[in-house]
Amino acid sequence: MPTVSAGNASAALRTGVGLEVFTVLWMAVEAAVAIGAGIAALSVLLTGFGFDSVIELLSGVTLLWRLSSTSPHIEGVERRATRISAALLVLLCVYLLFFSVAGLVLKVRPEGSVLGVAVAAVAVMVMPILAWRKQLANATIGSAALRADIAENITCAYMAAATLVGAGLNLLFGLWWAEYVAALALLVFVGMETREAIESARE
């Protein structure tokens, strides 16, 4: 089995840190734009997508600290961040389920959002590339935490695709109910994240 030189490992770690810095910055922008557009358009779909980005931002900040820090307290910080993420994800599941069903029953029509469609479209393109680059770096680093973050990026890409379809159908064709259907589809991915976060918190 080939050995990894210290130089290659150091370079891979720097790449991983750089990619995580980009992830944190992107998630901050994605969260702000999606939540802002969602509130403006009364869109459960966009607001839910934005809140999930906030949770991924918390995870990204924790991982960034883990990759760049030698602090003996990092394990405890990571456990606390995992528990907070799990609690927030449970609340997000409740939000998506309750307001999606209520919106469909009461026929609350969200407005089309160009900004929301745009941020979802960019996320669909950015997330798979980001996951691929992290996977290349992690082949050398071998970090379980980074591997989990890669899986979150892939999940985010699927969520962005569902958001793009729902918000796009509403914007282009006025199919307001498509946003609620997409939000319920979003609930599937958030539910997967929630289960993993709860399992990690228990461990």
The residue whose two tokens read 């405890």 is: 76
Which spans in the chain are helix H?
6-41, 44-68, 74-106, 114-141, 144-173, 177-202
The residue whose two tokens read 């960019």 is: 122
DSSP string computed for 115-147: HHHHHHHHHHHHHHHHHHHHHHHHHHH--HHHH
The share of the chain scoring above pLDDT 90, in percent, equals 67
Q: Which residue has the higher pLDDT, 143 or 27?
A: 27
Q: What is the pLDDT of residues 82-138, one digit of tens each?
A: 888 889 999 999 999 999 999 999 999 999 999 999 999 999 999 999 999 999 999
Query: What token pair was written down for 168?
Result: 């796009």
CB 163 within 8 A of CB 179: no
Q: Quote the crossing angle between the two packed helices 177-202 and 144-173, to the nearest 10°.
A: 170
- pLDDT given for residue 1 in this prediction: 42
| 56 Cβ contact list (under 8 Å, min separation 6) | 23, 27, 152, 156
152-189: burial string, b at 16+ Cβ within 10 Å, e else = bbbbbbbbbbbbbbbbbbbbeeeebebbbbbbbbbbeb
Is pLDDT above 80 for 6? no
**C-alpha pair distances (Å), 85 with each of 37, 79, 175, 200:** 23, 10, 33, 10
> Of the given ranges (27-36, 71-80, 146-155), which has the lowest mean pLDDT?
71-80
- pLDDT given for residue 59 in this prediction: 86
